[in-house]
Structure 1
Amino acid sequence: MARQYRTCRNYGCRLTDDLVYKGYRSILLENELLQVMLLLDKGGEPVRWLDKKSDTDFIWHTRTGLLPAHSLYPDYQMSYLGGWQEMLPEVSETHVYRGAVVHRGETAITPWDYELIREDDEELRVRLTNRLRSLPLFIEKTFILRRNDALVRIEETVRNEAPVPIEFNWGHHLAFGSPFLDIGTKVEFAPGSIVLDTATGKKREWPAAPGDGEPRDLSVMAQPGTSRPLLAVETPEGAYRLRNGSKPVALEVRWDRNVWPYVWYWQNFAADPNAPFFGCEYNIGLEPFNVPPKWTLAEAAAKGAALHLEPRGELSSWLHIAIKEDRGV
């Protein structure tokens, strides 16, 4: 936890804590290349992921942006500001499971504690923890930042604190929009990646969209007003890259595909006239999850697809997010 008289440095790997940003407890992780601000009181989610050299922030904010917490709007959708969230124990919709109300993205809307594990010139390690309210699960994730490196390593462990087995869904809701993503952005998956439309059961090799007729190229962004379905991508490498020819940097995401085998590909090109965006937002989501799109925990458990922990058991995983130099397409 924070120490009141901890010496603070302004070079190398460093942490700035005891911050309040727009009413939320926050911490700032930083090195020579990167600045990351995490909102501890709002899921530990990043509100800033800034490449210093190019002044490029990869966090997309909706038109409303970050609003103060309010008791009338405590759920995931009504507090959504865009950007990236940890989703546990439910990733699709709030419902009742085993007598508990499992909220969509409980870990994204509840406060996290933090502990400084290491801070010196060469490396910064900060551990965030959250004890769930709906299910007897405890999650910890450690952010690791090294000197002169624009890669953030996130190591995570979920523990079952009960003497009975527990199931859950888990993943990362990573959404991208302005200022980095625009109509010139391209999405890259490794050769051999497969695109799945769970509504029809049809598949095609990336970047072709499943369906009849001439396939659409899913690696390029659509014109504003284009409506596309929610799809899933299964990729052999557990990685994707976002590139924008007008930007000098690209974003690369890698993850443990043994835990998160599906990438939900959410395509919202300012086409949805209803809540929550009302045609205002041009963005996509590329979200590693353990289940295909929109399976609830109850459905996943019934189909044997939910993650499962034995009594007092645990499961570890990892996520890497890197900023890469890019000279354009």
Structure 2
Amino acid sequence: MSCRINETTIEEVKAVILENDHLKITVLVSKGADIYEFIYKPKNIDVLWKAPWGIKNPRGGIATAENSQVAWMEHYEGGWQEIFPSGGGPCQYKGVEMNFHGELSTLPWKYKITANSEKEISVLFTVTTFRSPFTVERVLTLKENDPRLYIHEKVTNHSEEEMDYSWGHHPALGAPFLDEGVILDVPAEWFESQNRENESTRLPQKTRFQWPQAQSRSGETIDLSVLPSKQNRSADLAFLGGLEEGWYGVTNPKLGFGFGMVWPKGIFPYLWFWQELRGSSGYPWYSSNYVMALEPFTSYDESGLAHCVENGTARKLAPGESIEVDLIALCFESSNGVKRIDHKGDITPKDN
């Protein structure tokens, strides 16, 4: 089929659907402009995870949460969020609380169709944050007979003060695409486990290893580039760095296809590595959610922007300054992973 755009509502949430012969991309405009579906049509499989509680209209219900993390989770439908200007836990910055995972995914966005032909479609999404003085523009583009989603973004500081920020993308991958034996190809040098520990955390706290090999808490050598058996429950958070290039590929050998991202490593030099493989008891996962995310980020600290300022990984925008970036998200055919994805989204497969 040729490219097309459909404007609709899902659970009373305004949505825009972009399609070509390879992909179907559903964006929840009035809920953070979250990418809710990333369907690879040749396999008819959505690579993104869906929360079991479904989509919740941000205008519906009565807010009772005492902290922003619980409030964010109550409206977390799964899919892919953009995290800005703070990632991770809430923190204080310039006299206000930067809420859990920042403002972008909590706000309604505006949109405008900027290209609409059989050959190419584009939609411009825009939002201005409330607690911080930023405007964000995101253009999503699909082209005919092309399995890539092209993403162009521009962030502007419209205040008269220099502003720090932490910025990332949070695509959560789920079943049936996510499964035991799934292969993670990432050109990283190191990864660092975080200060989390429960009954199913495999990694020791605050320890740096050479990617992808690690020493587990029990002393075993584990390979984090392959998802473990589903019989092994686990829950881990780590940060990857020392990227040779900005890309990764996640391949399901059983299904014969994968999902990948490409970005400029000068802007997003880190990856947040989150796995919740039915390993956390109690709220919010209740030992029953199987989800993983590899998240390109400017900065790393799970405690929010103020801590990224302290560790030197936060970025800055001068008064009136803007920054622009191009990313690509794509699906590809493979049964054993990829050797490289270049800046155009072209795949170099691994040798069989």
Is the TM-score greater than 0.5?
A: yes
Question: Which residue of the other structure, out of 155, 171, 183, is the alignment partner of 1:186?
Answer: 183
Moved more, 227-236 or 167-176: 227-236
- In the alignment, the residues of structure 1 paired with residue 278 and residue 258 of structure 2 have an alpha-carbon distance, to the nearest angstrom, of 23
Query: CA separation in 1, counterparts of 2:63 and 2:182?
Result: 37
CA distance in 1, matches of 2:81, 2:305: 18
The match for 2:145 is 148
**What is the match of residue 91 of structure 1?**
87
Measured in 1, the distance between the counterparts of 2:160 and 2:94 equals: 15
* 1:270 alignment partner in structure 2: 278
Percent identity over the alignment is 27
- Equivalent positions of 1:1-40 (< 5 A) are 11-17=1-7, 19-40=8-29
2:34 alignment partner in structure 1: 45
Residue 240 of structure 1: how far off its partner (Å) = 1.0
Indicate the SS of the match to 1:230: strand
Following superposition, the deviation at residue 198 of structure 1 comes to 4.8
Distance 1:41 1:245 in 2: 36
**Deviates further, 130-139 or 166-175:** 166-175
Question: Comparing 33-42 with 246-255, which one deviates more in the overlay?
Answer: 246-255
Match of 1:3 in 2: none
Instruction: Pick closer, same or farther for the CA change 1:266–1:293 going to 2, 3 Å.
Output: farther
CA contact (8 A) 2:18 2:24 kept: yes
Q: Structure 2: where are the runs of 5+ without partners? A: 196-204, 338-352
Measured in 1, the distance between the counterparts of 2:270 and 2:260 equals 17
Q: Distance in 2 between matches of 1:316 and 1:150?
A: 23
AA paired with 1:204? F
SS in 2 for 1:77: helix
Pick closer, same or farther for the CA change 1:210–1:287 going to 2, 3 Å. farther
Range 50-59 or range 301-310, more displaced: 301-310
Moved more, 85-94 or 69-78: 69-78
* 2:233 counterpart of 1:226: yes
1:205-284 → structure 2 map (5 Å cutoff): 205-209=210-214, 213-224=219-230, 225-234=232-241, 235-284=243-292
Does the 8 A contact of 1:63 with 1:280 survive in 2?
Answer: no
Cα deviation 1:283-305 (Å, max 9, x = unaligned): 21211112224141112223332
Q: Distance in 2 between matches of 1:209 and 1:238?
A: 22
In structure 1, give the amino acid aligned to 2:191: V
Matches of 1:32 and 1:72 in 2, distance apart?
41
Contact preservation (8 Å) 1:198, 1:292: no
> Is the 8 Å Cα contact of residues 166 and 315 (structure 2) preserved in structure 1?
yes
* C-alpha contact (below 8 Å) 2:216/2:222 kept by paired residues: no
CA contact (8 A) 2:183 2:336 kept: no
Determine if contact 2:159/2:319 at 8 Å carries over to the other structure.
yes
Q: Distance in 2 between matches of 1:67 and 1:100?
A: 26
One-letter amino acid matched to 2:221: P
Deviation at 1:174, TM superposition (A): 1.8
Task: Report the aligned-residue RMSD.
Answer: 1.9
Find the aligned partners of 2:97 and 2:299 in 1 and give their Cα distance. Answer: 19
Q: What TM-score results when the alignment is normalised by the length of structure 2? A: 0.84
Alpha-carbon deviations, 1:102-136, whole Å to 9, x = none? 22231112111111111112211111001001101
Deviation at 1:249, TM superposition (A): 1.7
Query: Letter of the aligned partner of 1:14 in structure 2?
Result: R
| Deviates most, 313-322 or 205-214 | 205-214
CA–CA distance in 2 between the matches of 1:179 and 1:198? 28
Q: Which residue of 2 aligns with 1:82?
A: 78
Task: Say if 1:45 and 1:84, in contact at 8 Å, map to a contact too.
Answer: yes
Taking the aligned partners of 1:293 and 1:148, their CA distance within structure 2 comes to 39
Give 2:309's aligned amino acid. A
| 8 Å CA contact 1:54, 1:248 repeated in 2 | no
**Is the Cα contact below 8 Å between 1:150 and 1:322 reproduced in 2?**
yes
Local SS of the residue matching 2:183: strand
1:123-156 per-residue CA deviation (whole Å, 9 max, x = no partner) reads: 1111100100110100001111111001001111
Matched pairs, number: 317
Cα distance, 1:223 vs. partner? 3.5
- TM-score, structure 1 normalization: 0.90
